[in-house]
């Protein structure tokens, strides 16, 4: 069976194939392999946004805040928790950017656990840059010590490394569930348990996992988590991030950025800050309503399809991508910078080759093949289970092969 026949067979037997037609551009001759950076928009999103402008914003005007906009950050957060995160209601809220949310969570966690004896922050060398920069800045502000885990760029942080790096001086550990470059899927439950064994708290970055893998925050006893909504959740460029705070921490925790929307009565305009009860206290400024409207459509689809089915297709997509890699790219000297076991990776793979440069990806983009580049020589092939076809994967990776021939 040829690769083309394999792709056709996989598409014909894909129980989620019909969801592809819900997305704008899915019928165009484009191989979009960057949904792990920015998801395609849903066709319904244009109607949802137009209806909001016409009926809610245009029709109800300022009354919209009292009628339902103020409730949206937690209402959409609860749906996100239920559909994607494995989180009970009242623990997830939509707010700010991922960077700002992570700052709030890390500072809140430090305030809860840090002491003269617990003055170390643990993170890894391969984490996403904003995560590293944030922790470096917080450590400088607070006079804390950084303990770095030297992660394998082609793998990721292991439970054993976390156990070695944590101890009686550890305050907070910040890790990503999926490594942004390699696609390595960390063992979230086991690592969370290891951090707790050391008496510390854990903050998980779920940017590359929310909407692509089953997570189970409550079941794993995770303390805090944050993530963006413009990748697999299709909220659009700059759509607001989410914050998760486990219910056991909410009664005693304060976040550091006090703003009017996080006050117990935002429109009271009174002197003095009194935080709202529960997860709403993690709001600061005015919520980004437009971004929540866009992501609502994807959350509806996720609930309909189920994260279990989405994860199953994700594993099949990456397995097929590795099959194509072995047939077309490995013989030309390319290397797979991603774990080969589907259970140990997220929904993207990274292919390294000495000839791959940013200019290579720009040329691919010009030909309507759209992956992304990660220095020094990596091309990420990102596969969104609800919108990506197997034929699309083959088409894009064939063109990557052709670029090595050029």
Residues noted as catalytic: 128, 205, 230-231, 380
Q: Please, are residues 390 and 11 in contact by the beta-carbon 8 Å criterion?
A: yes
Q: Please, are residues 276 and 253 in contact by the beta-carbon 8 Å criterion?
A: no
Q: Please, are residues 360 and 405 in contact by the beta-carbon 8 Å criterion?
A: no
Enter the tokens of residue 382.
């990102």
Report which of 171, 177, 147, 142 is spatially closest to residue 161, judged by C-alpha positions: 147
User: How far apart (Å, rounded) are the C-alpha atoms in residues 380 and 94?
Assistant: 28
């Amino acid at each position: 069976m040829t690769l083309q026949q394999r792709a056709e067979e996989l598409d014909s037997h894909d129980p989620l194939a019909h969801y592809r037609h819900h997305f704008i551009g899915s019928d165009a001759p484009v191989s979009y392999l960057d949904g792990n950076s920015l998801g395609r928009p849903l066709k319904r999103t244009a109607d949802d946004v137009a209806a909001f402008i016409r009926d809610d914003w245009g029709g109800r005007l300022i009354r919209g805040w009292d009628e339902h906009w103020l409730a949206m950050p937690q209402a959409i957060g609860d749906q996100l928790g239920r559909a994607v995160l494995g989180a009970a209601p009242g623990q997830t809220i939509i707010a700010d950017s991922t960077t700002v949310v992570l700052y709030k969570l890390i500072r809140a966690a430090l305030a809860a656990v840090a002491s003269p004896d617990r003055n170390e922050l643990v993170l890894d060398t391969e984490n996403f840059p904003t995560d590293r920069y944030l922790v470096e800045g917080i450590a400088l502000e607070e006079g804390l010590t950084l303990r770095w885990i030297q992660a394998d760029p082609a793998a990721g942080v292991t439970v054993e490394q976390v156990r070695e790096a944590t101890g009686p001086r550890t305050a907070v550990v910040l890790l990503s569930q999926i490594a942004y470059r390699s696609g390595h899927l960390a063992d979230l439950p086991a690592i969370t348990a290891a951090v707790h064994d050391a008496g510390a708290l854990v903050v998980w970055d779920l940017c590359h996992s929310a909407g692509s893998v089953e997570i189970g925050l409550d079941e794993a006893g995770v303390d805090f988590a944050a993530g963006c909504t413009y990748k697999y959740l299709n909220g659009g460029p700059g759509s607001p991030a989410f914050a998760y705070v486990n219910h056991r921490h909410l009664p005693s925790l304060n976040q550091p950025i006090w703003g009017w929307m996080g006050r117990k009565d935002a429109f009271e305009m009174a002197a003095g800050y009194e935080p709202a009860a529960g997860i709403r206290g993690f709001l600061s400024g005015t919520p980004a309503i437009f971004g929540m409207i866009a992501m609502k459509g994807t959350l509806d689809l996720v609930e309909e399809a189920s994260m279990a089915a989405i994860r199953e297709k994700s594993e099949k997509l990456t397995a097929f991508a590795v099959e194509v890699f072995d047939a077309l790219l490995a013989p030309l000297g390319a290397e797979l910078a991603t774990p080969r076991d589907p259970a140990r990776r997220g929904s993207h793979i990274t292919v390294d080759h000495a000839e791959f440069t940013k200019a290579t990806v720009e040329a691919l983009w010009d030909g309507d093949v759209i992956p992304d580049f990660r220095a020094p020589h990596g091309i990420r092939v990102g596969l969104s289970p609800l919108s990506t076809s197997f034929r699309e994967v083959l088409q894009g990776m064939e063109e990557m092969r052709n670029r090595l021939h050029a």
